[in-house]
Structure 1
């Protein structure tokens, strides 16, 4: 059941039973926070112990058939040739002007099987673009409601998975196709919090018993169910881009500082010509972090000024539970430098901030 036209995750009834505050997120009714302490408590649990997230609103798609890997590689920005079977890769679907239609994770199962996890609101468009470009014999399937996605994040995440007999300890950005409770589940060592953790992809119906088991295993470790509010504060502390904020059809990978996810040496990918030209000329705006130095919390779309002149705009802003301070991500003119002091206009009130390079919180996500 969902309100209005909003889609519901396979765990919708679980969230309601826990008293979660629900909201529209990319066309899906998803938990923002749970009672008993809300975002700050859930954020702290992830940084200190473990948190379990329902992120089943994320898309799922499959590209299969002879040459599937090469086809996807000719479309998406990162270079699938850099990884081997069993590895996952952060990549970008760009438009011809170099803007980002979506950022997504590609799971390389074989040369003929690539599993994709796009963002919720962009899944249909990504699937449509790939399907329209696919050569004969390559099939593109939208599997958005065939699978759930559960994220187990935090320094004690391994212990939670081990309690369920699931594989742990594999390399960062690699995945294992496992069996749990008689059904398949993909266990990938990645996440969106900066902490050590895993993302699990079970079938839609298997998401419910898996969620229950994960919460039961996490509770004795100080773990909590966590909503998308904590997911946002955690990713902002790490400086991770969110599509629709730091990335969009009008914001390029170069501007967002995710040019590392572009396979510059590849022969072709969508938007390559525009991105090569922008790289050569230099971007007109660049992503930075802002650390508030006076009381106040910068928010998205707040204007940023230096010496009275507009130098950019906040793309994401929040209160950092770890730092107990206002933080933000912003697109600023190339003249702005690290360490520079700027002023953010927060509803007509000036909040001073220092330009910094994220992450705001130092976490070694690759630690094994």
Structure 2
């Protein structure tokens, strides 16, 4: 189990197995998905962001869910429920996929790690883990077991150009293909080392039993010292993922925002005979989505934030900002926004930024080049 929960006004927050390390580093903690997680350290979000783009950042993302689906036909069951086609990958590979409701809305977006036909690891988002597990457990056939292991493991992300050197220096695996994983011995336990991440940089995510989580963290930061590694918080994780145009569940994709609206149709196995939400999504695909997620880049100095209105050339409302921030890499405001499908890339729109009309150009993310592979 993780360390003791943090008591807050009204609601107890869960804490990471690495909580004591964050406190020792002077992290600014904040609530995220029901967890008390580091938002930034003494270096600050901008410096942590720059370290990931130029060297390496080490993130605690233990708030991410962990669940297993095991038993004869486990992979086939997952394939018949989640959107993407597991037939596209082999054991030892990972896949981005979606758990949809019958109306096509997205209950969660998650990563599937295919260990074997009878053994699947799922990594959902923190706040949605229980619901994903509930839905899968309710639908599981005889012999297939769905288990919530959310608090049994820590997850540490190592992201940036120097990530291979840091992983090797810490005695962990490195160099395997993007969206693949290996299981390796570490300090008497077995950890999963995945070539995945949420920053657009080359990197890894280490899923480790809580008993060795502190040693994983300590070794990674020690090995990274000569490479300019810094501990990085969720503030930098958010600016990094926004620069890539990666969606955040609850903002850019949600139960009211479908995969087609979020431009995630590539994560749907359209020819599969069954998955949750299939009929609704096929109907939406045929009709065309009523709104589309696009990127916005500030023409001047406006900093967009979620919920801000987007206006078209004629002054009418054409959409809403779902994610918005100041890009540390570009030194300008950027956003993701759900827009009317008539709004095209290259168009200029106006965002109502605190009662100021700020001009933005509609662009196709990513906003900065990715080196994830």
Q: Normalising by the residue count of structure 2, what TM-score does the alignment of the two structures yield?
A: 0.97
- Partners of 2:173 and 2:63 in 1: how far apart? 24
Cα drift, residue 3 of structure 1: 2.5
Q: 2:13 aligned with 1:9, yes or no?
A: no
Cα drift, residue 205 of structure 1: 2.1
Q: 2:360 aligned with 1:353, yes or no?
A: yes
Equivalent residue for 2:113, pick from 85, 88, 107: 107
- Partners of 2:300 and 2:142 in 1: how far apart? 59
Mark the runs of 5 or more structure 1 residues left unpaired by the alignment: none
2:246 is matched with which residue? Answer: 240
Q: 2:136 aligned with 1:154, yes or no?
A: no
Equivalent residue for 1:208, pick from 204, 208, 214: 214
2:96 is matched with which residue? Answer: 90
Cα drift, residue 88 of structure 1: 0.4
Q: Normalising by the residue count of structure 1, what TM-score does the alignment of the two structures yield?
A: 0.98
Alignment of 1:1-368 (within 5 A): 1=4, 2-4=6-8, 5-36=12-43, 38-306=44-312, 307-366=314-373
CA deviations 1:211-263 (Å, max 9, x no partner) are 01111111211110000000000000000000001100010000000110000
- Partners of 2:252 and 2:333 in 1: how far apart? 18
- Partners of 2:253 and 2:294 in 1: how far apart? 13
Cα drift, residue 206 of structure 1: 1.0
Cα drift, residue 267 of structure 1: 0.4
- Partners of 2:122 and 2:209 in 1: how far apart? 15
- Partners of 2:57 and 2:7 in 1: how far apart? 26
- Partners of 1:364 and 1:226 in 2: how far apart? 19
- Partners of 1:27 and 1:135 in 2: how far apart? 31
Cα drift, residue 364 of structure 1: 2.9
User: Conserved in 2, the CA contact under 8 Å of 1:341 and 1:353?
Assistant: yes
Query: Aligned to 2:283, what secondary structure does the other structure show?
Result: helix
- Partners of 1:263 and 1:83 in 2: how far apart? 12
- Partners of 2:211 and 2:252 in 1: how far apart? 33
User: Conserved in 2, the CA contact under 8 Å of 1:3 and 1:29?
Assistant: no
Greater shift, 113-122 or 179-188, is seen at 179-188
Greater shift, 204-213 or 318-327, is seen at 204-213
Mark the runs of 5 or more structure 2 residues left unpaired by the alignment: none
Greater shift, 194-203 or 341-350, is seen at 341-350
Cα drift, residue 295 of structure 1: 1.3
User: Conserved in 2, the CA contact under 8 Å of 1:187 and 1:198?
Assistant: yes
Cα drift, residue 351 of structure 1: 1.2
Cα drift, residue 165 of structure 1: 2.0
- Partners of 2:256 and 2:47 in 1: how far apart? 35
